[in-house]
Amino acid sequence: MRTRRHARKTGHGDEAGDFPFGTRSSVVALGQPRTWLRDFYYWLLTTRWGWFLLFVLGVYIAINCAFGLLFWLDQGGIAHLSPGSFWDAFFFSTETLTTLGSGFWYPADRYTEILTALEPMVGLMGLALVTGVMFARVSRPSSRIRFSRHALITQFQGAPALVFRLANSRHNLIMGGTLGVFLIRSEKSREGRELRRIHELPLVRSHTPLFALTWLVMHEIHPDNPLAGFIDPKAVNLEDRDTFILVNFTGHDRTFGQAVHAQHLYRMSDLCWNRWFADVMERRADGRWQIDYERFDELVD
């Protein structure tokens, strides 16, 4: 069950997860004016579906309350409307906003005629905006790249190496998959100034023409390598949250016809030494490949 919960958390590569940057909740900005209205469209695209639908519902209710109040102020302006009933005026507004109409309630004076002419325009504009945002949210390409829970510092071909693996949980074809792996940590210059340094970690194979199943990623650790000090587990502070290994994946999804991206973060506490990944690939009797995701994060000696 632990494996499955982890798969839901990190299965989608477009989620920021526990990243120390890249999300509003992960960065505290001081001295910068709040300009969230300028990024309002970005918020509509990136917020969770629950918040988005709640926002749309709130705007819908607010508009109908506003027009309902305007209708209610003109007592007798709507035929057959219960005198003094705000709720009748509210529901008349919902029928007018969506251009439904009931045939039983209708404008009885010039004031309500003007309102019933303006409100459908607001409704049509709102419908167009919500439809456009929902289409943009749904049509965005997404990847379901799953990364192994741990990254390994282990021996491979007689030399130390950094090893982790990833899988395409969707099993569709991703063309031209490319990986970039970086060590990010704080270092001090000769003058004693603390700097944030990014070291690229060259891979044994950083590109694959087709990515549909799994990918075992390796980085050879040499004496002059930024990870040379990681070979001895006693020299690594597992509680260090300012040092991490960032993995970027890009590829071209043949189904969407667009580029897809995925990111993952390995903190020091995610490293394991002198272990190896359990085998998850097996050829079935009918010739198809079988992937056992229950063992995807399992380690063996």
Which residues make beta-bridge pairs with 259?
A: 252
Phi, psi of 176, deg, nearest 5: 60, 45
Sort strands 299-300 and 276-277 into parallel, antiparallel or unpaired. Answer: antiparallel
Calpha distance 201→156 (Å, rounded): 16
Check if the beta carbon of residue 126 is closer than 8 Å to that of residue 59: yes
**Structural domains in the chain plus CATH codes:** 40-139 (1.10.287.70), 143-300 (2.60.40.1400)
What is the structure's pLDDT at 140? 75
- Chain mean position to CA 136: 14
What is the structure's pLDDT at 3? 39
Read off the pTM: 0.69
What is the structure's pLDDT at 43? 85
Tell me which DSSP letter residue 222 carries: P
Kindly give the confidence (pLDDT) of every residue in the chain, 301 residues in length, as a single tens digit, with 9 standing for 90 and above. 333 444 334 333 434 445 566 555 556 666 556 666 667 888 888 888 999 999 999 999 999 999 999 999 988 888 888 888 899 899 989 988 987 776 778 888 899 889 999 999 999 999 999 999 998 888 777 778 899 999 999 998 889 999 999 998 887 888 999 999 999 998 888 888 888 899 999 999 999 998 888 899 999 999 888 999 898 888 888 888 889 999 999 999 887 778 888 999 999 999 999 999 999 888 888 888 788 888 999 999 8
Residue with tokens 């792996």: 181
Instruction: Copy the structure tokens of residue 146.
Output: 């799953």
> With helix as H, strand as E and coil as C, how does 250-268 read?
EEEECCCCEEEEEEEEEEH
- List of long-range contacts for 75-83, beta carbons under 8 Å, 24+ apart: 76/108, 76/109, 77/107, 77/108, 77/109, 77/111, 77/112, 78/105, 78/106, 78/107, 78/108, 78/112, 79/105, 79/106, 79/107, 79/108, 80/104, 80/105, 80/106, 81/105
* One-letter amino acid for residue 154 of the chain: T
What is the structure's pLDDT at 35? 62
What is the structure's pLDDT at 8? 38
